Structure formats: structure tokens, C-alpha cells
Amino acid sequence: MEIRVENLVKEFKSFDKTLVVVNKINYKFIGKTTVITGASGSGKTTFLDLIGLLSKPNSGKIFFDNVCVSDFSSKKQRDFIRDNIGYIFQSYNLIDSLDCRENILLGVHGKPDMEFFDKLVKKLDIVGVLDKRPNQISGGQKQRVAIVRALIKRPSILLADEPTGALDEKTSKEVMELLFSLQKEYGYNLISVTHDLDQVKLFESVIRYKDGVILDDKQ
Ligand SMILES: Nc1ncnc2c1ncn2[C@@H]1O[C@H](COP(=O)(O)OP(=O)(O)OP(=O)(O)O)[C@@H](O)[C@H]1O
Ligand SMILES: [Mg+2]
């Protein structure tokens, strides 16, 4: 899918102050894998949330394959997200009243592919936590549950916000290998955020983000 944003703006207002976190960004994602880097607080998550249609821009447009998805009605956006977007959240966003298996399957519309489910939970080594609730497992286990939840629906766009932030070096490497091998197999667009310089070189395009603008990109 071709992803493009046009004059994208996102501001947060508090009292009399306005913080411009995405400042008139024009960008066309080239290639299938892009990584976003930048200092903490620079706006990476905010930018990713806009692309994932999770928050509304103050102005500007988002296009997927030249269709302006930011103009869709809320209902149409929800359907689009359900059918196309996998999101690995920086803070996992798991639901504590459900066990991990239920959390993962929440990402699936219709009948889940249990063979794929088994493959993913084995690969990410979370078979032993499937019956537990998120508040009973470690941060790294939560992160891996969140990764499977995003992958299980076979998204056409995978947004990954520091997907290995809670993982050790070896597991991080395995997770990135999985995201890239599935990318090759299913062809999704992968847009990921990281602070890990070793990871950056895996991606076709690199965006350096600062104070609401893209400083430069390498493609
Ligand atoms: N809902 C919100 N309301 C008000 N301000 C917000 C909101 N969300 C984010 N911000 C502010 O916007 C700025 C960018 O936040 P964002 O989470 O996008 O940064 P980030 O680059 O992802 O940082 P990190 O690397 O720490 O995850 C920060 O100053 C943050 O405090
Ligand atoms: Mg962030």
C-alpha cells in the first residue's frame, strides 16, 4: 500500500499554550519498511497514531493508495483499521480483564487462523502465559503478546512503536527477524519507531524526527 501524508498537523492545547507536535508534514513513504527515530517527546508516537487513524489531525490529509482515509467517517475508519492495520503500541494496551489468549484474538475479525496463532505464540515463546492476564506477566511478555495481537490479523500496514523496547538483546533480534520475514511473506508496510541504532540499518527508509518535523530521510 502506498502511504502518503499531506500538510499534516497535530497540536495539543492546554490552557493558553499550544504544542505543535506534527508540524505541516508532507511525506510519501517509499519502500515497504520505514523506521522513525528521534528524541523522547519529539512526536513519534503522535505521528504514528495519526497514520494508524487513532487520532484526528488538526489539519492535513492521509492517503493510502491515493485514497484519502483521513476524510473517512469514523465508522469507515474503524472498519478500515479492523481490516488493515496492526498496531504494536508502545504501552502495549492490553486489557487486564481478559487473558492473553483473548487479548490476542481480539485483534481478529471473523474466524482466527489457529495454525498461524500457534506458530506465532511458539515463535515468540508465550505459550506459557496464554491463560494468564496481562497484570500477571512481565513487561517483555506483555510486549510479545501485543506483537502477536497485531500480527495475527495479517495486517496490510503494521505500525510498531518501539516494539522491542522491553526485550533483551537476543529476543529483540528474534522479534525483528520475525517482523521482517513476515513482511516478506505477506508484503505489509512496516513503519516502526526505535531508539536502537542497530535496528535502523534493517530498514529501507529512515526518518529522523525532531520537534514536529522530519529533519531528513534516507531512502
Ligand atoms: N494526548 C496528549 N495531550 C497533550 N500532550 C500530548 C498528548 N500526547 C502527547 N503529548 C505531548 O506531545 C509530545 C510528543 O509526544 P509523543 O508521545 O508523540 O513523543 P515520542 O516521540 O513518541 O516520545 P517517546 O520516545 O518518549 O515515546 C510530548 O511533548 C507529549 O507530552
Ligand atoms: Mg513514543
What CATH number did the domain enclosing 156 receive? 3.40.50.300
Local confidence band at 103 (pLDDT 50, 70, 90 cut-offs): very high
**Ligand 2 center to 211 CA (angstroms):** 13
Task: List, in sequence order, the alpha helices (H) in 96-218.
Answer: 100-105, 114-123, 139-151, 169-186, 197-200
Amino acid in position 124: L
Query: What pLDDT, on a 0 to 100 scale, did the predictor assign at position 78?
Result: 95
C-alpha cell at 32: 515497504
Does residue 49 register a pLDDT over 80?
yes
Number of domains composing the chain:
1
Nearest ligand, measured from the Cα of 44 = 1
Give pLDDT tens digits for 146-173. Answer: 999 999 999 999 999 999 999 999 999 9
Structural domain of 214: 3-218
pLDDT > 90: percent of the chain: 93
Contact 100, 126 (CB under 8 A): yes
Q: Which residues line ligand 1 (CB under 6 A)?
A: 12, 19, 21, 38, 40-46, 90
Which stretch of DSSP H or E encloses residue 84? helix 74-84
